[in-house]
A and B are shown apart, each in its own frame.
Chain A
Amino acid sequence: MDLLRIATAGSVDDGKSTLIGRLLFDSKSLPDDVMAAVEDASRRHHDDYVNLALVTDGLRAEREQGITIDVAYRYFSTPARKFILADTPGHVQYTRNMVTGASTAEVALIMVDARNGVVEQSRRHAVIASLLGIDHIVVCVNKMDLAGYDQQVYESIRAEFIALMARLGVQNVVFIPMSALHGDNVVKPSASMPWYHGEPLLHQLERVPVREGLDALPLRLPVQYVVRPHRAEHHDYRGYAGSIASGVLRIGQRVRVLPSGQESVIMAIDAPWGPVEEARSPDAVTVRIADDLDITRGEMLCALDEPPQIVQTLEAVVCWMDERSALRQGDVYRIKHTTRSAKAMVTSIDAKFGITSLTGEPDVESLVLNEIGRVSLKVSAPLACDDYTRNRITGSFILINDATNATVASGMIGEPRFSFNPLG
């Protein structure tokens, strides 16, 4: 069975948590006692209907305020597929938590309130979904019941969003008119919108292609940990443990160790289920090589052809995630890239991306919480990396403030899917 990771995003009150509650409820993934607790809580809150949002809002503060503050993860499955759903906050101040939930997603559900249309937060979520390289975006035009199930309302939102997605370089976008509250087009088709000929959401989620194309990319295996048993029966054993980021690893394959540049041949591959002839992403493996090289954590085993770039200066798009500080030119942070850690200096902030203008704004002094910008970095040690649009694992990094230990930024190496320059 496949495992599909989904993230949801929407503005406050777009009905995102209700949608998830509906998905879980109509796919029969809610245990009776959880449902009973939700019904009970809904009664106490004097809600007119069973408040499915209470299923996912797991923190006391969230239930009190009626908003989602941090990501909640939900698990459900159908006969066709298994799903991990990250329910992410819509509130602008919690955007960084949306980035947390969406960074590993293959599908993003963006909620739009049919009465409000495309708002600033919708644009922000679309920008982040595009930046994070999420392959499939489903725009859920929700609360159609409050818009009279009117096709014109849906079509105009759809047209506006199509233009936005084109601007953001996103190819695969699907639109679904729905009412999460009443269950229209979530799991079951809608009797109220006969003009919609597409499938309900769940059917579409069951058929989205999963993790395509990783095998076709060149091999990247960041070394996480060197296994040295110090046991009599494994006296000379030296294994390199790590998770395959992309490509296929085979016994007999010649690999280059980067950034040091040494070469060797794969002698043995231990997958979690035993010795294997070949392994692929996302397998966590331990490999042994033919030569006695000095390989440490932070190096990467790579295919000989199409090697990664080895850089000490890089351009990247960053999303700033710290509320207590700002990113400024000259700042020095710790950078964590694959399994490698180094220092990174901000040599320039090249532009800030305006969520309203959808263009890069030059002459930027700093980036503050939830702002997105293009920066240039100088790194204290060479990194073996690919552009993020090509490889989400070898193209991503985080910045850590060494004084507070906070994770202050998530970064994506290279050009994003869309230009910071105005179109035309």
Chain B
Amino acid sequence: MTSQTLSSHLRPESKDLRDLESESLHIIREVVAEFDRPGLLFSGGKDSAVLLHLAVKAVRPAYLPFPVVHIDTGHNFPEVLAFRDRVVERLGVELVVGSVDEAITAGRIPAPFGANGTRNRLQTPVLLETIQNGGFTAVFGGARRDEERARAKERVYSLRDEFGQWDPQHQRPEVWSLYNGRINLGQHMRIFPISNWTELDVWRYIAEENIELPEIYYAHQREVFERDGMLMALSPVMQPAPGETVVTRSVRFRTVGDMTSTAAVASEARTPEEVIAETLTTHISERGATRADDRTAEAAMEDRKREGYF
């Protein structure tokens, strides 16, 4: 057993983070063992990158036994799409894409109004359609409870009915680490293995594990304009209104979604360590700083989740 001794790894010092990691692996393994058709929602954002990293760990050295699912709003950052394709290629996993563009063209969902119309809500019918067409019985998502107060209420195993709806007032009890994965035909389960991670945990893990992210998570020069106190990136789908001035600034993204609903923050942080340092001193929450989609109402997230948003 000498070779084992030589290659033996020391326990990392970040015990809190490693306990969270083990909890996540436990959840992922339960799902792989008990569901016949899981899929992993991958937006190309940092949380889904961490989730995918954990999923690969949970089954290694075997290949990931389920596909990665991407809901393409058609308004994605090109850097994020390129990152998605790189990761899928490197891991050799199957990629399933649900396209909002396709659904609009085929007339299955209406096109949004206005020049800067957000496609955030349109993701939901396309997500549900993709889950149904793919026959997925369990769908992993990278949502965290610390992001938003409706998400703070979510179970790790979150049951969705035949219409994809979440019923927050009648969730199944979820005790110890004994998860009930039983569903009826037509229902599916959303699974949130990193429920208990915070934004800071995610960044610490990215730093410790050297997880690749789209480059827009780190400070770069970009043309932006200010709207509602947020820095929106200039793009073909996001143009300034009269009175809004485009300036070039050093920015990074704290969350990455659709270009119409994700804002940048001013930043000089070029490495995970520098992002951690900034995160430790910031006084604004991640979604508060950057997500136009959460600002529409006090219960914006709860309403979207009830409809089937992830």
Contacts and interface: CB of A to CB of B under 8 A. Distances in A.
A243 B177 contact: yes
A241 B9 contact: no
B241 interface: no
Residue from B1, B175, B180 whose CB has the most chain A CB atoms within 10 Å: B175
B18 A272 contact: yes
A423 B177 CA distance: 34
Contacts of B149: 55-58, 72
A234 B61 CA distance: 8
A273 B14 CA distance: 11
A73 B145 contact: yes
Interface string B292-310: 0000001100100000000
Contacts of A3: 15-16, 19-20
Interface in A217-258: 224-225, 227-231, 234, 237, 239, 241-243, 251-252
Interface residues of B, number: 65
A284 interface: yes
Interface in A317-342: 321, 334, 336-337, 339
B177 A251 contact: no
A396 B178 contact: yes
Interface string B48-78: 0000000001111111000000000000000
A266 B149 CA distance: 44
A32 B229 CA distance: 14
Contact of B152 (A58, A99, A392): A58
B196 A84 contact: yes
Contacts of B175: 99-100, 103, 396, 398, 407, 410
Interface string B145-159: 110111111010000
Interface in A368-410: 392-393, 396-398, 400, 402, 405-407, 410
Contacts of A336: 178, 180
Given A243-B22, A272-B22, A396-B175, A405 B184 contact: yes
Interface in B162-215: 168-169, 171-178, 180, 182-184, 195-196, 198
B32 interface: yes
Contacts of A271: 9, 11
A105 B302 CA distance: 26
A225 B29 CA distance: 6
Interface size class of A (residues with CB under 8 A): 35 or more
A359 to B, nearest CB: 25
A230 B62 CA distance: 7
A237 B61 contact: yes
B62 A228 contact: yes
A61 B16 contact: no
B8 interface: yes
A406 B299 contact: no
Given A73-B195, A277-B4, A397-B178, A229 B63 contact: yes
Nearest to B30: A224
B101 interface: no
A140 interface: no
Residue from A34, A268, A297 whose CB has the most chain B CB atoms within 10 Å: A34
Given A32-B284, A229-B62, A405-B182, A70 B168 contact: yes
A270 B60 CA distance: 10
Interface string A257-288: 00000000001101111111100001110100
B283 interface: yes
A59 B284 CA distance: 22
Interface in A1-53: 1-3, 31-34, 37, 41
B12 interface: yes
Contact of B172 (A33, A58, A402, A407): A407
A192 B91 CA distance: 61
Contacts of A321: 173
A155 to B, nearest CB: 36
A190 interface: no
B180 A400 contact: yes
A231 B284 contact: no
A271 B153 CA distance: 31
Contacts of A297: 33
A407 B171 CA distance: 10
B274 interface: no
A69 interface: yes
A58 B285 contact: no
B176 A231 contact: no
A275 B8 contact: yes
Contacts of A252: 1
Nearest to B200: A77
Nearest to A72: B152
A97 interface: yes
Contacts of A143: none
Nearest to A274: B9
9 contacts: A3-B19, A3-B20, A58-B148, A73-B195, A75-B196, A103-B176, A251-B1, A283-B18, A398-B180
Considering the complex of A and B, which 8 residue pairs feature the smallest CB-CB distances, nearest first?
Answer: A58-B149, A33-B288, A274-B9, A284-B25, A31-B285, A284-B22, A3-B16, A405-B182
Interface of B: 1, 4-5, 7-9, 11-12, 14-16, 18-23, 25-26, 29-30, 32-33, 57-63, 145-146, 148-153, 155, 168-169, 171-178, 180, 182-184, 195-196, 198, 282-285, 288-289, 298-299, 302
Interface of A: 1-3, 31-34, 37, 41, 55-61, 63, 69-75, 82, 84, 96-97, 99-100, 103-104, 224-225, 227-231, 234, 237, 239, 241-243, 251-252, 267-268, 270-277, 282-284, 286, 297, 321, 334, 336-337, 339, 392-393, 396-398, 400, 402, 405-407, 410
Given A275-B8, A393-B177, 14 more contacts: A1-B15, A31-B284, A33-B285, A70-B168, A73-B145, A73-B196, A75-B198, A227-B62, A251-B1, A273-B11, A276-B11, A284-B25, A337-B178, A407-B172
